[in-house]
Amino acid sequence: MHFSNFQNNKTMKKFILFLIVILIIIFPTIITQPYILHIMIMVFIYAILGGAWNILSGYAGQVSLGNAMFFGLGAYASSVLWLFYNINPWIGMIIGGLFAVAFGIFLGMPVFRLRRQYLAIATIAASQIIMTIFLNWEYVKGASGLALPLMPNSLKHMTFLYGKNGFYFISLAILIFFTFVVFVITKTKLGYYFRTIKEEEDSARSIGINTTQYKLVAISITAFFSAIAGTVYAQYFLYIDPNMVFSLRVSFLIVLISAFGGTATIFGPILGACVLIPINEMARMFFGGAGRGIDLFSFGILILVVAIYRPAGLVSLFYGKEKLAIRENLPGKDGKVDGENENIES
């Protein structure tokens, strides 16, 4: 694949991005097959989840393999509030997000003492503990799950029983908003601090970065948006059980999406979701129960291919050459820079 013709052309790139956004917005009016729209909704939800993972693990470098816990907590929080307390899902979505943030901070304070693989293992353990609790918790109906009430179609109750357009636009709007938030983060102090923490923690501390505090900020952002995706997911299916939202399969899928598309990039997780989620959904539709594992099997092959040919992720297809061009033209690459080793005026 070659994208070199618009690589050095920023306006062209912006125009194409704009075109893609317009296309996605008018998409449901052109294609009305519910099953394709369903795939798109899942792509949007998983793009949010992958992007949220990317904040904590891609930018700040604290690899979590248990992100499904935030997703599930968000789904359960809004569902329980809606079902038992009659609190509107939109408000439940925010409360669920804040609840996930609180949980993330509670979890982060001890586990951020761990680094690298030990942190990853701790997050797996935490997500499994949460899942076991929910499987055995009478109040949330344990393994049999929660069925949400069927309400008439309305945006107010985040319920769209007929057609997929409602959830298509809700998840798309959240994805666009989230992408904007990530963009702002990368351009400001937070983004710079996250990247420094990822690189070297001792240096980070010596230049005034409270590493623990900023890791907690990172996990808060991750938890909040994962939980919001959880609420949308729960409202979309109107049914959740612990295996749907808390299982390791979800956690790993989130990581795969981000790693496949490109970690620490804005569009990487979106691209990853665009490729992996359709495979995931189609495998389920074509093979049903008989093809269990076909999706994971194909992910394995794709990840291998990407790891060999594009270790920085699929998104590097689009910017790879541009960055290389900068690298080649760096001043002083092959010789001395002006003023090098000359006397410094004292």
Q: Could you list the residues that contact another protein (CB under 8 A)?
A: 187-189, 192-193, 195-196, 199-200, 202-211, 326, 330-332, 336-341, 343-346
Q: Which residues on neighbouring strands pair with residue 240, listed in sequence order?
A: 146
Show the tokens assigned to 21.
């956004």
State the nearest-atom distance from the C-beta of 313 to another protein, in Å: 14
Whether the Cβ atoms of residue 68 and residue 245 lie closer than 8 Å to each other? yes
Q: Which of 48, 118, 10, 6 is nearest to 258 (CA)?
A: 48
State the nearest-atom distance from the C-beta of 307 to another protein, in Å: 17
Nearer to another protein (CB atom), residue 138 or residue 328: 328
Nearer to another protein (CB atom), residue 249 or residue 310: 310
Write the CA distances from 150 to 36, 53, 72, 80, 305, integer angstroms.
23, 32, 21, 14, 44
Nearer to another protein (CB atom), residue 205 or residue 249: 205
Q: Which of 148, 103, 151 is nearest to 241 (CA)?
A: 148
Q: Write out the DSSP string of 49-64.
A: HHHHHIIIIIIS----
Nearer to another protein (CB atom), residue 138 or residue 338: 338
Show the tokens assigned to 102.
């609180």
Q: Which of 113, 82, 13 is nearest to 240 (CA)?
A: 82
State the nearest-atom distance from the C-beta of 299 to another protein, in Å: 26
Q: What is the largest CA-CA distance in the chain?
A: 78
Nearer to another protein (CB atom), residue 174 or residue 204: 204
State the nearest-atom distance from the C-beta of 342 to another protein, in Å: 9
State the nearest-atom distance from the C-beta of 198 to another protein, in Å: 8
120-123's contacts with Cβ under 8 Å and 24+ in sequence apart are 120/63, 120/64, 120/65, 121/65, 123/63, 123/64, 123/65, 123/66, 123/67, 123/69
State the nearest-atom distance from the C-beta of 260 to another protein, in Å: 20
Report the Cα 248 to chain-centroid distance in Å.
Answer: 15
Nearer to another protein (CB atom), residue 208 or residue 289: 208
Q: Is the dihedral of CA 165, 170, 173, 178 positive or negative?
A: negative
Nearer to another protein (CB atom), residue 209 or residue 283: 209
Query: What's at 189, amino acid-wise?
Result: K
Residue bearing tokens 């353990």: 125
State the nearest-atom distance from the C-beta of 329 to another protein, in Å: 9
State the nearest-atom distance from the C-beta of 60 to another protein, in Å: 13
Nearer to another protein (CB atom), residue 156 or residue 336: 336
Query: What's at 67, amino acid-wise?
Result: N
